[in-house]
Amino acid sequence: MKAVVQERFGPPDSLRLREIDRPATGAGRVLVRVHAAAVNPYDWHMLRGDPYAARLTGGMGLTRPKHRVAGIDAAGVVERVGAGVREFRPGDPVLGFCPGAFAEYAATTAALLVPRPAGLTFEQAAALPMGAVTALRGIRTRTVGRVRAGQRVLVNGAGGGVGTFAVQIAAVLDAEVTGVCGARNTGLVRSLGAAHVIDYAREDFTEAGERYDVVLDLVGNHPLGRLRRVLTPAGVLVAAGGGAPGRVFGAIGAMAKVAAVNAVTRHRLRPILPATPDGPVHEDLLAVTALVDAGQLTPVIGRTFALAGTAEAVRHVEEGHARGKTVITVP
């Protein structure tokens, strides 16, 4: 099969399209014929081995990539199932977390897959897993955002891969949503359900004097003190690290700081990392696809690339201004 391979940590240009063997399908595993795969900031972090502190967790490898084939989010058709798999059979259209998604075939466990909603294309379906589940957890989960009807919610980074989902989910919960984004995305964010839209180039929301019950910060471009200033007395800050600088600790250091400040403030500060296949995600994937089936959640795809253009796609996301989700099509 054709696959996008990374032999070492490095920039997107280090990715190579190669002909390699298809992954094996052991007990409990599913081989998916990939039709589309989404690119996430997670992918370029894994590609670069950045931040260095994350290498110590074992998730990305210490001196070289743990996974030779890049990519996580995929949608496609079940090609083969291993022993013990009862949920799926060959021919079923699916989406989910598939390590090695930037390839014609990827193998994963059944618990990381769900049926593809009938109303979505494969490209739209591939856009869901990491972005939509992360947004769901940040906005709706009881231990994190816990947004309720009538609350004022601000999403910083509303035009991005997670932000476009977060705006929609908060609006479905009948919150009054304010989206912060670039000028080219203001119309999009409003169409997703935001009652108010702020162009970050024209206005600093931390200086506007408004207060919010929940702030979901997906960018990391403001100090914690300034973010806390826009919270109501009982407000919640959900911080995703965003573009936290530093190759040693990066977003991990930013998340640790959020946890430390939470211990000494009346506000609730909740760090949230991207949803990954390393934790339980099946129920979240089902919740996301239920919202899609109900017509309450629609993926926004900004750009698509061919499999041979994966390096360019990763570079586009790494630059930090991608609109919605960036998706790779696999013919």
> DSSP labels for 7-42?
SSS--GGG-EEEE-PPPP--TTEEEEEEEEEEE-HH
Partner residues linked to 215 by β-bridges: 154, 237
pLDDT of residue 83: 95
3-state secondary structure of 55: helix
d(CA 329, CA 123): 7
pLDDT of residue 279: 78
pLDDT of residue 46: 81
Could you tell me if 104 and 330 are in contact, meaning their C-beta atoms sit under 8 angstroms apart? Answer: yes
**Which of 197, 194, 216, 193 is closest to 208 using CA atoms?**
197
3-state secondary structure of 213: strand
- Residue 155 half-sphere exposure toward CB, CA atoms < 13 A: 37
d(CA 76, CA 31): 10
Q: Mind listing the pLDDT tens digit of every residue in the chain (331 residues)?
A: 999 999 888 889 999 999 999 999 999 999 999 999 999 998 988 887 765 555 555 566 556 777 789 999 999 999 999 999 999 999 999 999 999 999 999 999 999 999 999 999 999 999 999 999 999 999 987 667 789 999 999 999 999 999 999 999 999 999 999 999 999 999 999 999 999 999 999 999 999 999 999 999 999 888 888 999 999 999 999 988 655 445 544 555 566 666 667 655 667 778 787 777 877 899 999 999 999 999 999 999 999 999 999 999 999 999 888 999 999 999 8
